[in-house]
Structure 1
Amino acid sequence: MEIKEKNRAAYETKEEGVLAYRIGNRVLHLAQDLSGDDTTGSTLWLSAQVLAAYVQQNGLRDRNKGRRKCLELGSGVGLVGLALAGDDTNDVLLTDVDKVVDRVLLPNVEMNGHRNAQVGVLDWHTDADSVDWKGMGMVDGSGAIEPPFDLIVSTDTLYERTLTPLLLQHIHYHLDRNAHCKALIGLERRDSTLIDEALSMMAEMGLKVQQIAHESLSRAVRDEYGWEDDEMWSGCEVYKLTKSSKRTLNSSTVDSSTQVDWQEWTDVALDDLISCLPPALSYSSIDIPCSSTQPLQPIAHRDLFDARFQLMEEDKEQGVVSGDSDLIPGRYEGGLKTWECSVDLVQHLHATGADFVNKRVMEIGCGTSLPSLYAYRQILAQPGTKNCVMHLQDYNLQTLQLVTFPNMFLTWYISHFSKDSTGEAEINEEVIALFKKHLIDDKVDLKFSYGAWKALDGDIKYDYLLTSETVYRTESIPPLVQLIQSASHDHTATLVATKGIYFGVGGGVREFSDYLASNGHSTDVVWTKEGTGVSRHILKVIL
């Protein structure tokens, strides 16, 4: 195999006039204009390198579908558009403002000699439906490539708040014109707030937003450029946008009476869950980052392969543990995966010294129940009777049977028998009898429920309501709020750990906070983390 000289990262080549850039089996020559004070559009940027590698490795597969028309918005030196033009079944229109077209874009397209590439001047301040496409071609006197387009690409174009809605209205216009069109947006996350605002705006416009997996990008730059160290392109992300038929809900459109035909809320007897335990549980631990001066020990949880093995042994359908999806509406709500916001919530509870003895605690949408495992472990560490209630709820009964209750049982088992946080727990009648005796003697009441959220009947209120990664779907926010309202008293601590935005399903901090505000309630942000990737937050609900 031929070993190609590695392309250098864009930040290492800002002072070079012409770059010899290897992509696929070609060498592109890219002129950079270093003159003047503003070189924003006239030099190569890192996110363009990442997206170019991705489309080269993954974006050129529709050969059986005939020619494909591609539009690049904010092309700059033109790397991504020229990468696409390397496939002669693509027709590519590269666009930018006039000064960038004159200084670098048109010279670069002409220098590299692709007959299937055209250049046009496109200012996003021009309404998308007013663009003169017929008069746009600037190479060899040929006419421009006209809509509808099959693919839109754009890199490093989300950097200025006033330009974001202008760019997005052009993208939305073209996605609306062709139901099969998609857009790939490459960015370098310098300002997380600005990026999250842009992503939220996309969702509000009715676009489905999907982040391309870091592993896919890593593989692309490694195979295309030989970049083995992901730190070379740290902060770069790629998102795929498509037109969604789904209406996004916000504070003015959420209808709290919306009914979803999902599994009804059902309580599960503890003995029924105990009867589902296998003869042994294989478990490992999750390390929780800790900024507190008080050490935080790893938290044990059942290995997912062990749950799968149990189902195979019992010759049962694997159902929600198949691992094919994180979310199947009405069937599986992601309960088998330990989500990163649940780790954040454990960190926050530990840092604030939360005390769960003599308390009623409910975890809503618990899944692997990491916050409850932490709370239960803290309870077990205290001497004397505990006098507490722990109520764990998830959408799926199978999740409760396979991971939620086994994880709670393991927490007691490791504490009682002073076991390591990795190993195998043997389960027999004697061990189960000891567990039940602990619950009675220490006055620990474990409750479990599954099914869709609703307002609870009765007078039972909770001191802590904990939930992680549960505001990802806007339609689920009203019943979640109803449940919180019905389970709260005046001093309930309700903590919601969430990402800033959830791609493709429309939920997030803004949607949840807006819905609460529209019902006379509010939230305080008590913890936040920004940086590369989507921002994460913990909200305290104030009723």
Structure 2
Amino acid sequence: MFSPASAHSTKHIPLLLYPFAASTFHLAQLTDGVSNGTALWLGAQCLSVFLASINPRLVAQSGKPPRLVELGSGIGLTALAMSSLGWDVLATDIPHVISSVLAKNIQDNLNKLPPASGTIDVRELDWTIPPDHWTWNDTTVVASASSSSLPSSDVNTPLLNPPFDLICSADTVYTAALVEPLLRTFHALCTLSLAASASARAPPIYLCIERRDPALVDRVLADARDTWGFTVERVPHRKLVKAMDKGGIKWPKAEWEGVEIWKFTLPRG
């Protein structure tokens, strides 16, 4: 299997052939400037191979089949990767990303997943919407800024809802205005999962970022710890290097040296 190229060098390619484990995904992307979320970014690439490297441990600690919710799913790489490893995935983003790339990429790649793959639901989750305005009985929306976008909640199809065993996000720390909404959403998903489960532990959160703006990244980490009560720890760089090597990615060090993965854990109160 060929090794995927770094996202830094593929922004101009409208359709990526992306190898992951036993699959090769066909991922459409846009770089029209409307949204950052419609193109592949480095964080999703690194996060997917890291989660694959620790997948046996994650599965052993979770239910059967395990459930993942992803914030800012973008073009769908991480959602497809985790589904291929047996996870049921709730892939979330804003309407423009869903309608332009995410929903179609998921649909177009279902036949490229191995037989034992999990399911993938795609729904809107706007972080700016307070958790007490979320809905879990809608096929297309968890939280929307436009009430007119909410279809009927009379749903017969089983939906992927809390509790979740894992929460993840990549390339979603890029503006100060979204720091509080992102952390509030993390906290709410942990709290809802604890309430809906007999587990004594909240689902771990893995956040992958590129340290483009050190002050912004430091603020996210400090607020996660001091305001929202998370235990915050960085995944050691050597573990990420090992995961990248295991995943067959042989990029020069300079290509991804700014990537960091952080684990947030919410203690049970």
- TM-score under structure 1 normalisation? 0.42
1:303-352 alpha-carbon deviations (Å, 9 max, x no partner): xxxxxxxxxxxxxxxxxxxxxxxxxxxxxxxxxxxxxxxxxxxxxxxxxx
Query: Is the aligned partner of 1:173 residue 2:188?
Result: yes
Match of 2:46 in 1: 50
**Which residues in structure 2 correspond to 1:336-375 (within 5 Å)?**
none
Alignment match, 2:147: none
**In 1, distance between residues paired with 2:265 and 2:59?**
20
What residue is the counterpart of 1:197 in the other structure? 219
Equivalent in the alignment of 1:153 = 168
1:427-446 superposed matches below 5 A: none
**C-alpha distance in 2 between matches for 1:29 and 1:59:** 23
Cα separation, 1, equivalents of 2:23 and 2:50? 16
How far apart are the structure 1 equivalents of 2:251 and 2:31? Answer: 29
Name the SS for the 2:255 alignment partner.
helix
Q: Which runs of 5+ in 2 are unaligned?
A: 142-155, 195-200
Measure the CA separation in 1 of the matches of 2:179 and 2:214.
14
Task: State yes or no: 1:162 paired with 2:160.
Answer: no
Q: Which residue of 2 aligns with 1:32?
A: 29
For 2:249 and 2:31, the matched residues in 1 are separated by: 27
Aligned length: 239
Any residues of structure 2 matched to 1:334-413 within 5 Å, and which? none
* Displacement of 1:232: 2.0
Matches of 1:163 and 1:63, distance apart in 2: 31
**Any conservation in 1 of the 2:35–2:97 contact (CA below 8 Å)?**
no
* 1:205-354 superposed matches below 5 A: 205-227=228-250, 229-244=252-267
What is the identity percentage for the equivalent residue pairs of Structure 1 and Structure 2?
31
* Distance (Å, rounded) in 1 between the aligned partners of 2:190 and 2:230: 9
> What is the rounded CA distance, in whole Å, between the counterparts of 2:7 and 2:22 in structure 1?
20
Match of 1:70 in 2: 68
Give the Cα–Cα distance (whole angstroms) in 1 for the partners of residues 230 and 182 of structure 2.
14
Secondary structure at the aligned position of 2:176 is classed as coil
Code of the residue aligned with 1:131 in structure 2: it is W
Following superposition, the deviation at residue 136 of structure 1 comes to 3.0
Q: 1:143, CA displacement in angstroms?
A: 4.3
Question: Does the 8 A contact of 2:52 with 2:85 survive in 1?
Answer: no
Instruction: Give the residue type in structure 1 aligned to 2:230.
Output: L
1:142 Cα shift?
A: 4.4
Larger relative contact order (C-alpha < 8 A, sep ≥ 6)? 2
Tell me, yes or no, if structure 1 residue 61 matches structure 2 residue 57.
yes
Match of 1:41 in 2: 37
Q: CA 1:106–1:163 in 2, change beyond 3 Å: closer, same or farther? A: same
Contact conserved, 2:3 with 2:248, CA < 8 A, in 1?
yes
CA shift, 1:197, in A, is 0.6
* Paired position in structure 2 for 1:92: 89
User: C-alpha distance in 2, partners of 1:74/1:145?
Assistant: 17
CA contact (8 A) 1:73 1:154 kept: yes
SS at match of 1:132: coil
| 1:34 Cα offset (Å) | 2.8
| Aligned partner of 2:208 among 186, 189, 201 | 186
Match of 1:104 among 101, 106, 110: 101
Amino acid at match of 2:69: L
Q: Deviations over 1:445-476 (max 9, x none)?
A: xxxxxxxxxxxxxxxxxxxxxxxxxxxxxxxx
2:171 and 2:208 in contact (8 A); partners too? yes
**Is 1:23 aligned with 2:20?**
yes
Q: What's the offset of the Cα at 1:63?
A: 4.1
Cα distance between partner residues in 1 of 2:177 and 2:249: 37
Distance 2:139 2:181 in 1: 19
Distance 1:144 1:245, change over 3 A: closer
Hey, what's the Cα distance between the residues in 2 that align with 1:67 and 1:34? 35
Q: Which amino acid aligns with 1:50?
A: C
Q: Letter of the 2:135 partner, please give it.
A: D
Cα distance change on mapping 1:60 and 1:142 into 2, 3 Å: farther
Rg larger for? 1
State whether residues 6 and 251 of structure 2, in contact with CA within 8 Å, keep that contact through their aligned partners in structure 1: no
2:3 pairs with one of 1, 6, 10: 6
Structure 2 CA distance for aligned equivalents of residues 197 and 127 of structure 1: 21
Aligned-partner SS, 1:225: coil
Give the CA RMSD over aligned residues. 1.9
| Higher percent of residues as helix | 2
Give, in whole Å, the separation in 1 of the partners of 2:132 and 2:204. Answer: 18
Summarize the Cα distance change of 1:6–1:191 in structure 2 as closer, same or farther, 3 Å threshold: same
- Give the letter for the 2:67 counterpart: K
Match status 1:136 vs 2:139: yes
1:124 partnered with 2:127: yes
Unaligned runs of 5+ in 1: 247-543
SS of the counterpart of 1:41?
helix
Match of 2:145 in 1: none
Q: Give the Å deviation of 1:174.
A: 1.6
Asked if the contact 1:48–1:186 (Cα under 8 Å) also holds between the matched residues in 2, the reply is yes
SS of the residue 2:27 aligns to: strand
TM-aligned CA distance change 1:30 to 1:207, over 3 Å: same
TM-score, structure 2 as length reference: 0.83
Determine the C-alpha separation between the residues in 2 that align with 1:169 and 1:193. 20
Which of 128-137 and 21-30 deviates more?
Answer: 128-137
